[in-house]
Amino acid sequence: MDRTVAIDVSRLCKTYDTHKAVDDLSFQVYAGEIFGLLGPNGAGKSTTLRTLITLLHPTSGTATIMGYDSVREADKVRTVIGYVPQERAIDRFLTGREHLQLLGALYHLSKEEATKRIRELLTLVELEAHADRPAKTYSGGMKRKLDIACGLLPDPKILFLDEPTLGLDVQSRLRIWEYVRMLKARGMTVVMTTNYLDEADQLCDRLAIIDGGKIKTMGSPVELKIALGGDIVSLTLKELDRIPALETELKRQPAITSVRTTTKGLDIRVESPEKALPTILESANRLNCSVEFIQYNRPRLDDVFIAHTGRAITESIPEAESA
Ligand SMILES: Nc1ncnc2c1ncn2[C@@H]1O[C@H](COP(=O)(O)OP(=O)(O)OP(=O)(O)O)[C@@H](O)[C@H]1O
Ligand SMILES: [Mg+2]
C-alpha cells in the first residue's frame, strides 16, 4: 500500500459565529485510497470538505493538499482537485452535455479537449443516451451521475465527494460505488462524506467517525470492528427479571469480555465464541434462565459507531445550542 500522504490536516477548526462546526481535526489521507468521513447530520463533514477544497478558510489549524497549503496556495490546490457538492447544482434548462461544456469553458479546456473528455465522462457515467435532453428531466440517480462527471471534468488527482449517494435508490447507489472503485483503480485519491454505515463499510479503505465536529475514531472498517474487542452473542431471555442475575454471573467469567443489558436480554462480547458459548449456556441453565433465542454476530460498523458516540447514527443529535 502506497503511504504517500496526499492530504495532511492538522488541528483544523472552523467556527461559525460561536458554533464550533469543526473542532480540532487532525488526519491524513494517503494517495490512492478512498477515505471517508462518516457522521450524522450536522457532524461537520461538509464544513471539513469545504475547507479542504479552499471554499472556506479555517478558523485555525492547517490543511495541505498534495503539499499545497489550502489558504496560502489555494490556486495550486484547485488545479489538483475535483469536487462534487452535497447540494446539486444542476441548472433547470441546460442539457447534461451543456453542463459539462460550460464547466469545460470555466476550466479553460480547448474545444477539442473538452469534447473528447466530455464524451469519455458521459460514457463513464452511462449518460450518453440522455446527454442532450434537459438535466431537469433526469432521475435523482442520473443527476448524481452528472454531478460526478462534473467533478471529474478537470481530471483531478483527488476527488471530493460530499454524500455521493444521499437519497438515491439501491441500484443507483451500487452504480456510484462502482464508479468510485473504478476511479481508485485508476489511481485517483477519493475523499468522501457519508452518513450511511454500509457505504462507509463497503467503499472506504479508511474512515474517520466524526460527531460534533470531532474525530471519535479512525481506521479501516475491519480495524475499527476488531478494536471493539470481539464478537457479540445476543441472548433473548424468557423471564426478563432473570437478566441482572445472569449478567452478574457472566461478568465473572474470563471467557467473556463484557456484558450489556438490552431490552430483551443480554449482549455478550466474547473473544472466542467456541470457548464462551458453553459457559454462557451453562450459566443460564444453572440460574434457571430460559433462553428463548440466541444470536451470534460479528461486530458491524453500527456497533463501532455506537461504541464511540454513545448512540446510533440514525438517532437525532442532542440539539446544539444555536449560535
Ligand atoms: N454557513 C453556516 N453558517 C452557520 N452555521 C453553519 C454553516 N454551515 C454549517 N453550519 C453548522 O455547522 C455544523 C456542521 O455543519 P455541516 O454542514 O458541516 O455538517 P454535515 O456533517 O455535513 O451534516 P449533513 O450530514 O447534514 O450534511 C452544523 O451545526 C451546521 O448547522
Ligand atoms: Mg453535509
Closest-lying ligand 1 atom to the alpha carbon of residue 17: 4
pLDDT in the model for residue 294: 93
Domain boundary, last residue among 201, 225, 249 = 225
pLDDT in the model for residue 35: 98
Q: Residue 111 above 60 pLDDT?
A: yes
Is 107 domain-assigned? yes
Within this chain, do residues 259 and 169 fall inside the same structural domain, yes or no? no
The residues, any chain, with a CB within 8 Å of residue 207's CB and separated by 6 or more, are: 35, 36, 37, 38, 200, 218, 219, 220, 221, 224
The rounded percent of the chain whose pLDDT value lies above 70 is: 96
Mapping DSSP to helix (H, G, I), strand (E, B) and coil, where does residue 258 land? strand
Taking CA atoms only, the protein residue closest to ligand 1 atom 11 is 21
Q: Residue 86 above 80 pLDDT?
A: yes
Within this chain, do residues 42 and 170 fall inside the same structural domain, yes or no? yes
Within this chain, do residues 258 and 135 fall inside the same structural domain, yes or no? no
pTM of the model: 0.84
C-alpha of residue 219 to centroid of ligand 2, in Å: 21
pLDDT in the model for residue 93: 87
Tell me, what CATH number does 206's domain have?
A: 3.40.50.300
Q: If you average pLDDT over every residue of the chain, what do you get?
A: 91
Is 195 domain-assigned? yes
Within this chain, do residues 179 and 264 fall inside the same structural domain, yes or no? no
Ligand 1 and 43: CB distance under 6 A:
yes
DSSP string for residues in 115-134? HHHHHHHHHHTT-GGGTTSB
Closest residue by Cα to residue 257 from 270, 273, 276: 270
Domain boundary, last residue among 225, 257, 290 = 225
C-alpha of residue 22 to centroid of ligand 1, in Å: 9
Within this chain, do residues 19 and 111 fall inside the same structural domain, yes or no? yes
Ligand sitting nearest the alpha carbon of 41 = 1
pLDDT in the model for residue 2: 62
Is 293 domain-assigned? yes
Calpha distance 43→163 (Å, rounded): 13
Ligand 1 and 21: CB distance under 6 A:
yes
pLDDT in the model for residue 8: 98
Give the H or E element holding residue 114: helix 111-124
Grid cell of 97 as nine digits = 452535455
pLDDT (tens digit per residue) in 188-237:
999 999 999 999 999 999 999 999 999 999 999 988 988 887 788 999 99
Within this chain, do residues 180 and 272 fall inside the same structural domain, yes or no? no
Within this chain, do residues 123 and 236 fall inside the same structural domain, yes or no? no
Ligand 1 and 41: CB distance under 6 A:
yes
- Span 142-149, average pLDDT: 93
Identify the band that residue 320 occupies on the pLDDT scale cut at 50, 70 and 90. Answer: very low
Q: How many domains does the chain have?
A: 2
pLDDT in the model for residue 1: 57
Q: Which domain holds residue 199?
A: 5-225
Calpha distance 230→216 (Å, rounded): 19
Residues less than 5 Å from ion ligand 2, measured at CB: 45-46, 86
Tell me, what CATH number does 255's domain have?
A: 3.30.70.920
Calpha distance 182→284 (Å, rounded): 50
Closest-lying ligand 1 atom to the alpha carbon of residue 43: 21
Within this chain, do residues 130 and 86 fall inside the same structural domain, yes or no? yes
Q: Residue 18 above 70 pLDDT?
A: yes
Is 287 domain-assigned? yes
pLDDT in the model for residue 52: 97
Is 319 domain-assigned? no
Q: Residue 322 above 50 pLDDT?
A: no
To test the pocket of ligand 1, the residue of 15, 19, 207 to mutate (highest count of ligand atoms within 8 Å of its CB) is 19
Decide: 189 and 158 in contact? Cβ < 8 Å. Answer: yes
Q: Residue 76 above 60 pLDDT?
A: yes
Is 190 domain-assigned? yes
Ligand 1 and 16: CB distance under 6 A:
yes
Match 500522504 to its residue by C-alpha cell. 5
Ligand 1 and 195: CB distance under 6 A:
yes
User: Reduced to 3 DSSP states, what percent helix, strand and coil does the chain have, rounded to the nearest 5?
Assistant: 40, 30, 35
- Span 4-19, average pLDDT: 97
State in Å, rounded, how far the first CA of the chain is from the last one.
43
Closest-lying ligand 1 atom to the alpha carbon of residue 195: 25
Within this chain, do residues 220 and 234 fall inside the same structural domain, yes or no? no
Within this chain, do residues 171 and 252 fall inside the same structural domain, yes or no? no
- Span 25-36, average pLDDT: 98
Ligand sitting nearest the alpha carbon of 320 = 1
Identify the band that residue 88 occupies on the pLDDT scale cut at 50, 70 and 90. Answer: confident
Ligand 1 and 45: CB distance under 6 A:
yes
C-alpha of residue 257 to centroid of ligand 2, in Å: 36
C-alpha of residue 187 to centroid of ligand 2, in Å: 26
Within this chain, do residues 204 and 262 fall inside the same structural domain, yes or no? no
To test the pocket of ligand 1, the residue of 18, 38, 45 to mutate (highest count of ligand atoms within 8 Å of its CB) is 45
Is 315 domain-assigned? no
Domain boundary, last residue among 196, 225, 254 = 225
pLDDT (tens digit per residue) in 162-171:
999 998 889 8
Decide: 305 and 218 in contact? Cβ < 8 Å. Answer: no
Written in H, E and C, the secondary structure of 135-158 is HHHCCHHHHHHHHHHHHHCCCCCE
Is 81 domain-assigned? yes
* Burial readout 193-212 (b: 16 or more C-beta within 10 A, e: otherwise): bbbbbebbbebbbbbbbbbb
Strand 231-237 versus strand 265-270 pairing type: antiparallel
Q: Residue 323 above 60 pLDDT?
A: no
Cα Dmax for the chain: 80
Within this chain, do residues 62 and 207 fall inside the same structural domain, yes or no? yes
Mapping DSSP to helix (H, G, I), strand (E, B) and coil, where does residue 210 land? strand
Closest-lying ligand 1 atom to the alpha carbon of residue 22: 14
pLDDT in the model for residue 29: 98
Taking CA atoms only, the protein residue closest to ligand 1 atom 4 is 16
φ/ψ of residue 252, rounded to 5: -80, -15
pLDDT in the model for residue 274: 84
